[in-house]
C-alpha cells in the first residue's frame, strides 16, 4: 500500500502522511507500505535460486523503504537482471524510478506492470507519476483505474480523492465521496483523516471538519492539522474564518 503529502500522501510525492504527521500525510499518501529492510550480509545469502531471488528483491524493497532509490536501481541492475518482466521486479523498479524522478521511465515501467496480475499497482504508480508532474486530471484517471481494479483499497481511494481535490469545485463532491469511503475502510489513517478535513473545509462543512480535528489526541497535532487545512483552503481562494 502505499505508498500523493505534512505536507502534500503523493505526491509522494510521492505525494499524499505532525506538523510532522500532517505535513507528511499528503506526500506519504502515495508511498508504498513500509517494511523492515532485510539484512544484506554475505552470510545471509542462500544458495538455492528461488531463495536468492527472494533475498535480492526483498533487499531492494528495504532500500526503497529507506528512500535509497538510486541504490535500489543499482541493486536491481546488478543482481536482479534475470527478473526483468516479473511483476514484483516491475513494481520495485517503478518505485525506484519515481523516487529518482525519472518520470518517463517510471511511466513505461508502471504501464508494463498494469498488464500483469498486479494491474492495480501499475495504475496507482501511473497516478503518482502524474501527480508528481502536477497533472491532476490524469492522476485522477489513473487512480480511478486503480480503484476499479481494487475497490476496497483505502489507499487508492485516498489518492483518488486527493487528486480530485485539485480539479476544482465541480469535483469536490466526488472527492468527498472517495475520502469518506477511504475513512470508513481505514479510520486510523491520519493521511485519510487529514484529506477528509481538507475536502470538508473546501465544501464549507466546517462543523464536521472541526469534529474530526477535535478527535485528534494531542493539542499540538490538532493545531497543526487545523492551521495547515486553513492555509491549504485559503490558497485555493476559499473563505475561511
pLDDT at 23: 34
Q: What is the C-alpha to C-alpha distance for residues 211 and 2, in angstroms, rounded to an integer?
A: 27
93-139: pLDDT as tens digits? 999 999 999 999 999 999 999 989 999 999 999 999 999 999 999 99
pLDDT in tens, 194-215: 999 999 999 999 999 999 999 9
Report the interhelical angle of 190-202 vs 206-214 (nearest 10°): 160
CB 229 within 8 A of CB 194: yes
Proportion of the chain above pLDDT 90, given as a percent: 66
Distance CA 161, CA 196 (A): 9
Q: What is the 3-state secondary structure (H, E, C) of 65-95?
A: HCCCHHHHHHHHHHHCHHHCCCHHHHHHHHH
Is residue 61 pLDDT above 90, yes or no? yes
CA dist 78 and 10 (Å) reads: 29
Measured distance CA(148)–CA(166) in Å, rounded:
20
Looking at residue 57, what is its pLDDT? Answer: 85
Mean pLDDT for the stretch of residues 5-11: 35
Q: Which DSSP string corresponds to the chain? A: -----------TTT----THHHHHHHHHTTSPPP-PPPP--GGG--SSHHHHHHHHHHHHHHHHHTT-HHHHHHHHHHH-GGGTT-HHHHHHHHHHHHHTT-HHHHHHHHHHHTTSTTHHHHHHHHHHHHHHTT-HHHHHHHHHHHHHH-TT-HHHHHHHHHHHHTS-GGGHHHHHHHHHHHHHH-TT-HHHHHHHHHHHHHTT-HHHHHHHHHTSS-HHHHHHHHHHHHHHHHHTT----
Say which CATH topology domain 20-235 has. Answer: 1.25.40
Instruction: Please tell me which residue, 52 or 218, carries the higher pLDDT value.
Output: 218
Please provide residue 56's backbone torsions phi and psi, each rounded to the nearest 5 degrees: -60, -45
Residue 48 in this model has a pLDDT that exceeds 60: no
Q: What is the pLDDT, as a whole number, of residue 165?
A: 95
Amino acid at each position: 500500500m502505499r505508498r500523493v503529502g505534512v505536507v502534500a500522501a503523493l505526491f509522494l510525492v510521492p505525494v499524499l502522511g505532525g506538523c510532522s504527521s500532517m505535513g507528511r500525510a499528503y506526500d506519504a499518501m502515495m508511498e508504498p507500505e513500509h517494511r523492515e529492510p532485510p539484512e544484506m550480509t554475505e552470510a545471509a545469502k542462500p544458495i538455492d535460486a528461488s531463495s536468492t531471488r527472494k533475498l535480492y528483491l526483498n533487499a531492494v524493497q528495504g532500500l526503497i523503504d529507506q528512500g535509497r532509490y538510486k541504490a535500489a536501481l543499482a541493486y536491481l541492475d546488478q543482481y536482479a537482471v534475470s527478473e526483468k518482466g516479473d511483476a514484483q521486479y516491475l513494481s520495485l523498479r517503478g518505485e525506484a524510478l519515481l523516487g529518482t524522478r525519472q518520470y518517463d521511465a517510471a511511466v513505461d515501467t508502471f504501464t508494463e506492470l498494469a498488464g500483469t496480475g498486479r494491474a492495480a499497482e501499475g495504475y496507482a504508480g501511473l497516478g503518482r507519476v502524474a501527480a508528481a508532474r502536477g497533472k491532476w486530471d490524469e492522476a485522477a484517471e489513473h487512480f480511478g483505474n486503480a480503484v476499479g481494479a481494487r475497490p476496497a483499497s483505502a489507499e487508492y481511494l485516498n489518492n483518488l480523492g486527493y487528486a480530485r481535490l485539485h480539479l476544482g469545485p465541480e469535483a469536490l463532491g466526488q472527492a468527498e465521496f472517495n475520502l469518506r469511503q477511504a475513512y470508513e475502510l481505514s479510520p486510523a489513517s491520519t493521511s485519510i483523516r487529514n484529506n477528509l478535513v481538507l475536502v470538508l473545509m473546501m465544501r464549507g462543512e466546517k462543523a464536521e471538519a472541526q469534529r474530526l480535528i477535535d478527535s485528534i489526541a494531542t493539542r499540538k497535532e490538532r493545531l497543526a492539522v487545523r492551521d495547515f487545512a486553513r492555509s491549504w483552503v485559503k490558497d485555493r481562494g476559499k473563505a475561511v474564518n
